[in-house]
Amino acid sequence: MELLFLVLFALHILKREALAVSHWCYESQKYEDPLCQGPREWYQIYATCKGEKQSPINIVTKNVVLDKSLNSLNFEGYDVKESSAWDIENNGHTVKVTLDTSAKIGGGGLGRKYKAAEFHFHWGVQVGQQYLPGSEHSIDGEKQAMELHIVHIREDASDIEAAKKYANGVAVLAFFIKIEEENRNYTSLISELENIKYKGQTAQMEPLPLSSLIPPEEDLGRYYRYEGSLTTPDCYEGVIWTIFEKPIALSLSQITQFSTVYFDGKNSTPMAENFRPVQFLNGREVYRSSASILLPTAKLLLLLLMLTYILSSLCQ
């Protein structure tokens, strides 16, 4: 009996030690921390990560389905600069900004209003003169340098944990970020990165209108929609994803600044390639907004002129 007790006690200790070292990470952290669980192993800690509606995905444009109910979203309070400072944090996985704002989204086939709770980023890594892209979603296999996620929760939920108790409790707006010219709207946010270099560090930054961080509203009518999950553990399934076609532009210098923060403490791995690989669709449909089929006014005018010319030529 005493031997059985010792065996059970030993197994209990081993289980506790295993749980202590079993923490999730990105593949780019595995070299420094081989005991952490990379994306292919997340399901060993969180069973939901092996679900049927996981994110991110690769959007194959020839397979997407037009949904005429997906009209333009309504952005409420996105152009308002709030009085309270924003908390910006290095949480060991990304740069996250917690929002204290009245900003909400509705329309666009969402079925209800969702309030903005936080936003964060995923990015790649610079290797020599080349920047390897780090967006989570891709379109026809093509990724961009970064991806911005603005996370919204049901209007009647107190926080994201409460929102997770519902189906479709979370709605995420995803924006690709490409390498182009400098974007001065991101200057104050990027300048705070030096104050959150290490895991657990937080700082406060001057609030901005959320609209200043994303493309103009007139460019947000074209998007893709599908049902998925959070792209980090616990991989909660119940997320309505909206992925916009129009990207945000940042300079290469601005983008590389995100890798001046670290996954952990001093001398740890610089935070880079903090993205989850694409997941299987498992029979899910991906929809495109009705605005995606509209021709821009200039192109439509050119088409009409060409048709007029062709018809007049045929009549001569």
Give the closest residue to 154 by CA, choosing from 139, 144, 166: 166
Contact between 135 and 146 under an 8 Å Cβ cutoff? The reply is: yes
Q: Which structure tokens are listed for 76?
A: 């409420």
Instruction: Decide if 120 is catalytic.
Output: no
Q: What residues contact residue 217 under an 8 Å CB cut-off, 6+ apart?
A: 72, 75, 78, 211
Active site residue: 12, 93, 122, 152, which one? 93
Q: Which residues pair with 132 in a beta bridge?
A: 125
**Residue matched to tokens 């200039």:** 298
Q: Which structure tokens are listed for 260?
A: 């001046």
Q: How far is the C-alpha of 211 from the C-alpha of 95, rounded, in Å?
A: 19
10: phi > 0 → left, psi -120 to 50 → alpha, else beta; which? alpha
Q: Which structure tokens are listed for 38?
A: 């990379």
Cα 238 to chain center, whole Å? 15
Contact between 149 and 120 under an 8 Å Cβ cutoff? The reply is: yes
SS3 call for 297 = helix
Strands 146-154 and 170-179, bridge-based pairing: antiparallel
Q: Which structure tokens are listed for 152?
A: 């919204």
Q: Which residues are catalytic?
A: 93
